[in-house]
Structure formats: C-alpha cells, structure tokens
Amino acid sequence: MIGFLVVDKEAGWTSHDVVARCRRILGERRVGHAGTLDPGATGVLVLGVGPATRLLRYVSGADKAYRAEVVLGTTTSTGDDDGEVLETFEMAGVTLAEVAGAAAVLTGEIDQRVPMVSAVKVGGQRLHRLARQGVEVPRPVRRVRIDRFEVAEGSDPGTFAIEVTCSAGTYVRTLATDLGAALGGGAHLRRLRRVRAGRFTESEAKRVAEIEEAVGSGAEVLRAPLEALELPRVVVPGDACPEVRHGRPLEGPGSGAPSTGPFAVLDPDGRLLAVYEAAPDRRSSRACVVLAPG
C-alpha cells in the first residue's frame, strides 16, 4: 500500500487523531501527515501511506491556502478563539479599508515569532506543552512569505473574513494577532480552514467517515505519490532503472534536473522510482528517497 490520502479534517480532531484513525481504517501502520492543523481548524490534511511517508518532507514544504475570520478587539492566550481572553481594545470604528491596508503591509516576506501554542521544540520541549504548564520561553523568529492576504466583511460586527496564500510554516494565528496590532489594538483568529495544501484542494478532500465507507466498499482512496510532488521530473532509460531501484548514483544530474534541489526520477512508463538530487560537483546525482526496491 502506497500513496497519499487527502483528508478533510473536522474541528475537534488533532492531526494525530486523524493519523491514528486512518491507520486502523487502512490496516497500515506507516501513516504520517504533512503539516499539522490545530484541533479547532478544519480542511485539507495530507497523509502519506506506506513508503509514501518518506516523501512527506517534500509535501509539507509546499505552499498552503486558508480561509478564516479575524475578530478585532480581543487578544487570546492561543491567538484563536480556543484561548483565554488576555486584553480587550476599543476597535469598533475600524473600517474595511483600514484592515485591507494593514493586510497589504503584512504581504510579502515577513518575520513571524513562533507562538507558544505550537509544536516547535525549544530546549528539547514542545512549546504547546510548556504553554499548558504556564511557562513562557523566548521563541525563534522565522521568515515566511505571504503571497495573498485578502480581506472582506465578516459574519459579525468587528469581524473580517480573510483569505491567505502563504509559504509552509506560516502561522495564520500570528498573522491575525499581527494584523490587530498593526491597527492599533488586538485581534484573534477563528474558523480557520485550510483550503489547499500543495496540489491538493478542499474539493478533493474527504472526511474520515467517508474514507472509512469508501475503504469498506473496496473503492480506491489513495492518490499516486507522483501527484503530490511539485518537483522537476527526469525520465531515465530502461537500462538505468535497476540502478535507480538500488539507489545508486547516476552520472550527471539528467536532462531537466535542476542545478540544486531534489527532482523526481521516473521510468519510461512514467512511474515514480525515486527522488534524487544533484551532487555538489554536478557530475552525478544521488538518491534521497527510493520507492522501487531492488
């Protein structure tokens, strides 16, 4: 069993909950996810199944897209509506034009401080575990890229609907709190939904119950590994396939391979064999992940 499963995660589930449930449904121990979603968030969660778990590093680094609402006037301990209210601000007069202007400033490459409620490790401990103990520690600042930050009127007074397209590793909760601060007050996030992860969109995602029903009826639920990879592709001749299947170095990077970074290696029939990258001297390519064992 090998491939990717595109799940529409429901609110209240942790990403680990989804992985554990899908392991049972598929009868496969090797299942992992590409990019955590908060328990309160919904939307696209991509799972690698079987040997495809070794490709998750290439999927987790793909761009993401989100929908959510920003609530002006209050900050919370978690940056979203699951946390306790920390401060309140009078922001009833803030207009859509002002919010859009602040969002424009937060578009492009920006620095974000990792929130305390996150899975990042500091000093060997996950920040969210320290946060639950009431401990706050200095957190790293990361450079992220916001490609799109659109704002519209929200469903309630003082709320604004947002659509964000961003690089992997972006915290949309932090984006909401930064937006509130830029407007001279505070804000938090609610109703976060991931609508795209790399090549996979919410229209392709299925809830866990739907996946269980499909598997029970014998339907195919896995997507081919190659569908998930946004990598350059190199087709090797048939006589080179045994070398690739054994993960041996290939002479030269291959036609169409990038000068740096990984690329997918396919057989003449278009099947994914492995992921390689060019050696520093560009005289050969070496295997990063081999899917077709010798």
How far, in Å, are 19, 97, 292 from residue 47 at the CA level?
7, 39, 20
Whole-number Cα distances in Å, 131 to 91, 150, 192 = 28, 31, 21
Q: What are phi and psi of 248, to 5 degrees?
A: -80, 150
| Cα four-point dihedral sign 179, 184, 189, 192 | negative
Distance CA 155, CA 66 (A): 17
Sort 44 into a burial class: Cβ within 10 Å, 0-12 / 13-18 / 19+.
buried
Beta bridge pairs of residue 274: 265, 290
Beta strands 233-235 and 262-266 are parallel
Place of tokens 């978690």: 78
Among 8, 17, 38, 111, the one annotated catalytic: 38
Whether 38 is catalytic is yes
CA dihedral 75, 77, 83, 88 (to 10 degrees): -30
Residues that are catalytic = 38
